[in-house]
Every structure is written in C-alpha cells, then in structure tokens.
C-alpha cells in the first residue's frame, strides 16, 4: 500500500488470512521436520550447519530434495528464457468425510501449467492425495531480466462442497 504498486503472490503468499476459513481449510500441505532436513541437504548445507539449525546430529541426506511440499510453486529462470519443472505435492484432507477436488489453473501468457491428476479423491479425514504440477515457461524474445515476474495460480475446488484451496505459481528471473 505504501508504494502504490499492486501486490503479487510474492508479497502475500497463498492468500490473505481469513481466521474463519483457517479453522476449516479442507486441505493442507502437510510438512514434517524430515522434509525440511531433506531441503537443507538439497541446498548443500554442511553437516555442521544442519546440526545447528535442526539440533539433530543423526540424520541422512539420502533423500535430498529442493522440492518442498509447500503451497507456493516458484520456478526460476537462470540465464535462459525457457524452462520446465515438475513439482511433486501431497495434500492432506482435514475434513471428517470423503471428498473430491478438481484442479483449476490460471496461467499467464508464456506459462503452461499441467496438473496431474486433475481430480483427486480423499477417503476420509487425514487421507492423502499426491499430484504433480508441471510448469513450462517461455518468456520469448524479451530474454531473462530481473524485472520479469509472471504469476498464476492453482485452485483445488471441492466438488459439491465449500472448500477452495489456492496456491500461487510464480516464474521469476534470478538476478
């Protein structure tokens, strides 16, 4: 607000907080300490750094990954004007019933987003569903510059229900 520039998903994340809806989100991107350790390993943190951050001396980097099970998806363009990456995600149902969700994607010009499978089903509370988000970016003749940021979003709509889960998808050029 102070700059007069419209906000983007990089400013506000998955969505502004609505306390009423936060008490009944429908789905969550659940994450555990092990996932963060795998991420630190993927970022090539040293053994000493990981121990300081986690307070753990016994862990393994055999499943190192840069793909954290996080609602936001960001793809960086480094010295190229095109790239593609597949993000693997897991959603957990936190509702006391069976439910089905259908994906809706809003992708800006120059970005193609495919969600597979486009429909996910949950058998009950705490059941999980896996899906992939493949993002292809082509900024064309503009070439990569630190000024280029494009963003869209993935929405999981509950079929015959009230829950809507929104996740930003961002493509940005690394400085």
- Report which DSSP code applies to 10: H
The packing angle between helices 47-54 and 33-42, to 10°, is 150
- Cα–Cα distances in Å, from 35 out to 7, 70, 89? 29, 10, 12
- Look over the chain and give the mean of its residue pLDDT values, rounded to a whole number: 86
The pTM of the whole model exceeds 0.95: no
Domain regions of the chain by residue span: 19-173
Nearest to 9 by CA among 173, 172, 174: 172
Classify domain 19-173 by CATH architecture. Sandwich (2.60)
- Cβ of 75: how many Cβ atoms within 10 Å? 19
Residue-wise pLDDT for 64-86, tens only, equals 998 999 998 988 877 666 788 99
């Amino acid at each position: 607000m102070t700059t007069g520039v419209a906000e983007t998903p990089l400013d506000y994340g998955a969505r502004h907080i609505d306390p009423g809806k936060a008490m009944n989100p429908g789905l969550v991107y659940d994450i555990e300490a092990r996932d963060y350790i795998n991420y630190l390993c993927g970022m090539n943190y040293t053994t000493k750094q990981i121990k300081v951050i986690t307070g753990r001396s016994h862990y393994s980097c055999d499943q190192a990954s840069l793909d954290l099970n996080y609602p936001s998806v960001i793809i960086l363009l480094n010295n190229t004007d095109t790239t593609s990456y597949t993000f693997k995600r897991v959603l957990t149902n936190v509702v006391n019933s069976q439910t089905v969700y259908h994906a809706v994607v809003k992708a800006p010009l120059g970005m193609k987003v495919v969600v597979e499978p486009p429909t996910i089903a949950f058998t009950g509370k705490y059941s999980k569903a896996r899906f992939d988000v493949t993002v292809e970016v082509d900024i064309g003749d503009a070439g990569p510059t630190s000024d280029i940021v494009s963003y869209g979003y993935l929405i999981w709509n509950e079929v015959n229900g009230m829950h809507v889960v929104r996740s930003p998808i961002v493509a940005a050029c690394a400085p």
